[in-house]
Amino acid sequence: MVNVIGLGYIGLPTALMLASHGVEVAGTDYNEELVKTLNSGHVTFKEHGLDELLRDAIKAGIQFTTEYQETDIYVVSVPTPYDKFSKKIDAKYVLSAVQDVMKKALFGATVVIESTISPGTIDRMVRPALKAGGRMDLHLVHAPERIIPGNMVYELLHNNRTIGADDRDTGEKIRSLYASFCQGEIVVTDIRTAEMSKVVENTYRAVNIAFANELAKICRHDGMDVYEIIRICNMHPRVNILQPGPGVGGHCISVDPWFLVGDYPSLAKVIDESMRTNDAMPAFVLHRVYDIMREQGMKDLGRVGLYGLTYKENVDDMRESPTLQLLESQEKHLGEPLKVYDPLIAEDVVENQYHDLDEFLDAVDLVVVMVGHDEIRENREKMKNKVVLDTRNVCGGGCYHL
Ligand code: SAJ
């Protein structure tokens, strides 16, 4: 039996996928409410295809519990935040999960860490924990996830994967576990390489987005169209520039590259500067708002509305969202809170939040498109009498851009 520890954005789909492909699975999470919700047959976040997957997994006998199980394979997928000051990984959740696993694991069991960790975390923190706990019989594996929110179920089935292990046998055992559902290629390597390649993948994307954001600022300075320039450049067979935006959110691209900056501060210069560029984007958007208001003779911040609260389009995930970052930096200026609306966020999370697109648009004169949800793409004409600052290039011409 496989015991999946942590039933969040990664652990839950992984546990369901294993169970619906014939693996005996118990999912463990310390959050009783979450376990109750799953046991009642409901998913805990919106994701395309997740409901069906939960139904299949329940039919196949998956168990959800707050207890760690006595078994021989554990998959740990708990959060790995970073310390905002030192920029280093905070591995406390991984380490506490490993402590609990050590109390229950059968002799010679395998502990797979799926959570993203900075290169060297297993050697520096997890192995010493096993030693201190007298559980050097346990085998460690790092199998970093790669799925993208919004397309998780498809990507779990089709993406290639990396498995890092200390020896071939353990690597092969875990490779065949993932091969129960994964149709992509599964590369087996050592743990250090698996840790590093995961962080490098997200860093590559962060640096590329920072480059696009910098281009947007250069183009703005001299009245050039950054989207057209990127489109043309990307027609070159070896160029693939990502899109500028109001900032980078989510729990990966805005977090993982900082691990490298934290561990190699004098070496990771490009990465450090890229992360600062992306982090400065919400404040840059706010400055654009002030400039546009001045240009348009607008005085009332209360007539400015932010469309979108999530970190990207068509997901209900607000972690590290640029809109929340913008609101935070605006609060520092003690301005009147801006109006906010997101079709995918039903609960009230910020002041002045609307739950209906028409009511929101009636209440504002300047709309800042922070997220390119399908809803706004399909309702572009509703903004035709508004001043629009479009940070996601959903409106085409006739509006302000970054
Ligand atoms: N963004 C831009 N411009 C772009 C693309 C994205 O500004 O051209 C912004 C998004 O709006 C969002 C942020 O970047 O705020 C991150 O979004 P994303 O869609 O690029 O990535 P995530 O964080 O949802 O998922 C990433 C993925 N990693 C890579 O593509 C290398 C995913 O495969 C990983 O599983 C995930 O991180 C993770 O957990 O590490």
Pocket test for ligand 1, best of 202, 325, 373 (most atoms within 8 A of CB): 202
From first to last of its 402 residues, the chain has per-residue pLDDT tens of 999 999 999 999 999 999 999 999 999 999 999 999 999 999 999 999 999 999 999 999 999 999 999 999 999 999 998 888 887 889 999 999 999 999 999 999 999 999 999 999 999 999 999 999 999 999 999 999 999 999 999 999 999 999 999 999 999 999 999 999 999 999 999 999 999 999 999 999 999 999 999 999 999 999 999 999 999 999 999 999 999 999 999 989 999 999 999 999 999 999 999 999 999 999 999 999 999 999 999 999 899 999 999 999 999 999 999 999 999 988 777 677 899 999 999 999 999 999 999 999 999 999 999 999 999 999 999 999 999 999 999 998 889 999
Ligand 1 midpoint to CA 116 (Å) = 14
Whether ligand 1 lies within 6 angstroms of the CB of 9 is answered as no
Whether ligand 1 lies within 6 angstroms of the CB of 319 is answered as no
DSSP string, 80-139: --B-TTT--B--HHHHHHHHHHHHHPPTT-EEEE-S---TTHIIIIIHHHHHHTT-TTSE
Residues 6+ apart with CB under 8 A from 116: 80, 144, 145, 198, 199, 202, 252, 255, 256
Nearest CA to ligand 1 atom 13: 248
First CA to last CA distance, the chain: 51
Whether ligand 1 lies within 6 angstroms of the CB of 4 is answered as no
CA nearest 5: which of 114, 142, 139, 119? 114
pLDDT of res. 332? 73
**94/108 Cα distance (integer angstroms):** 19
**209/379 Cα distance (integer angstroms):** 27
pLDDT of res. 86? 83
pLDDT of res. 241? 98
Task: Kindly list the distances between the CA atom of residue 158 and the CA atoms of 96, 148, 153, in Å, as whole numbers in the listed order.
Answer: 31, 12, 9
* Residue 17: HSE in the Cβ half-sphere, 13 Å Cα cutoff: 24
pLDDT of res. 331? 78
Nearest CA to ligand 1 atom 4: 243
pLDDT of res. 385? 93
pLDDT of res. 176? 98
Whether ligand 1 lies within 6 angstroms of the CB of 311 is answered as yes
pLDDT of res. 337? 83
Q: Which atom of ligand 1 is nearest to the CA of 251?
A: 23
Q: Helices (H), strands (E): how many in the chain? A: 16, 14
Amino acid identity, residue 129? A
Q: Which atom of ligand 1 is nearest to the CA of 246?
A: 7
CA nearest 181: which of 35, 57, 7? 57
Ligand 1 midpoint to CA 149 (Å) = 8
**Residues for the chain: how many in total?**
402
Residues 6+ apart with CB under 8 A from 134: none
Token pair in block for residue 211 = 């480059």
DSSP string, 330-379: HHHTTPPPPEEE-TT--S--STTEES-HHHHHHT-SEEEE-S--HHHHHT
**255/82 Cα distance (integer angstroms):** 7
Whether ligand 1 lies within 6 angstroms of the CB of 209 is answered as yes
Could you tell me the strand order of the sheet in which 139-142 lies? 63-65, 25-28, 2-5, 73-76, 110-113, 139-142, 161-165, 186-189
The three-state secondary structure class of 151 is coil
Is residue 219 a contact partner of residue 230, using CB atoms and an 8 Å limit?
no
Tokens 């020896």 belong to 167
pLDDT of res. 342? 98
